[in-house]
Every structure is written in structure tokens, then in C-alpha cells.
Amino acid sequence: MWFRVDNRLIHGQVIEGWLPYTNARHLVVANDELAHDSIRQTIMQMAVPRKIDVRFVCVADLAKTIASFGDANVLVLYETCDDVRGASEAGVAMDVLNIGNLHYADGKIQLYPHVALSSDDIATLRNLASRGTAMDFRAVPTQSVKAPHEPLF
């Protein structure tokens, strides 16, 4: 089970890097808005190899969805830290959370070139870290894992 937050969701780094790295046969996108947008789902599915089972689910349904896969390798994508928080509150346990890409916007702190966090994002990640979730800050699996910045975490 691998969890990644990346506001781009399904894109080249996921298809070419993370799917092979995780050996996932199931790709689950947990985002309430996308779970109800069949047009965006169709567009995203076109990028995924046919051998990969793709599901788009509401955050509240994620625990039930991943439980249905048993011991199979699964890659879960979140668009935002809000999605991560919602999944955690709905009972999804994450040993490791890969923070892959979160674009900069006003009010966010640029932590790494590929990660900018709001105060709410930081609170969510701190909460998860305090409960044992390891934070993995990297865009692609070939990068070395960056530790969270001490003042933030």
C-alpha cells in the first residue's frame, strides 16, 4: 500500500515512476470532486496502462475500497492534504505518505521546489506524523527521501 499526495494526480511521474516502483496493480484516486466527474476520469484513465485497475472514489469510501483488494499492491493518490486528512479521519492508516507535488499559492510556504504547504497542510501532516506516519518528500522514486524541515514538523 503506497499513499501519495500530488495535485496533478495521474500524470507521467506516476505512470512511469511510481507504478513500477510500487509494483501496484491497482490505482485508486481518492478525491470527492473527481469521484463525480466522469469526463475527467475518462481523460485520466487514458494515460494508465490497461493492466492497471483504476478506481475513482470519494475520500470517505477509500478504506472500504482498499480493503477490497486484500494483500494486492495498491497506489493511492490524493489531490490535497485535505483529502489525506479526510481519509485518515475515515480510518485509513498510512505507514508512509509520499508528498510528491503541491503547487505554490498565496499563503503557502515553499518547502521544496515541488512542495508548498499551507498552515492547514502542515497541521494535517504534523498530526499524521505524531501518529506514526512517515513523511516521504520526493517527486520521483529515484530521488533520495527528504526529511521534513524541523521547524515545521
DSSP class per residue in 26-65: EEEEE-HHHHT-HHHHHHHHTTS-TTSEEEEE-GGGHHHH
Q: What is the pTM of this model?
A: 0.94
Q: What is the pLDDT of residue 153?
A: 62
Q: What is the rounded average pLDDT of the residues 72-88?
A: 97
CB atoms within 10 A of CB 143: 14
Residue 149 has pLDDT above 90, yes or no: no
Q: What is the pLDDT of residue 139?
A: 93
Q: What is the rounded average pLDDT of the residues 89-109?
A: 95
Query: What mean pLDDT, rounded, does the chain reach?
Result: 94
Q: Which of 11, 26, 114, 149 is catalytic?
A: 11
Q: What is the rounded average pLDDT of the residues 114-130?
A: 95
Write down the domain spans for the chain: 2-137
Residue 151 has pLDDT above 90, yes or no: no
**2-137: which CATH number, 3.40.35.10, 3.10.590.10, 3.30.930.10, 3.20.20.70?**
3.40.35.10
Location of C-alpha cell 521546489: 113
C-alpha grid cell for residue 16?
512511469
Per-residue pLDDT reduced to its tens digit, 21-55:
999 999 999 999 999 999 999 999 999 999 999 99
Annotated catalytic residue 11? yes
Contact (Cβ atoms closer than 8 angstroms) between residue 126 and residue 82: no
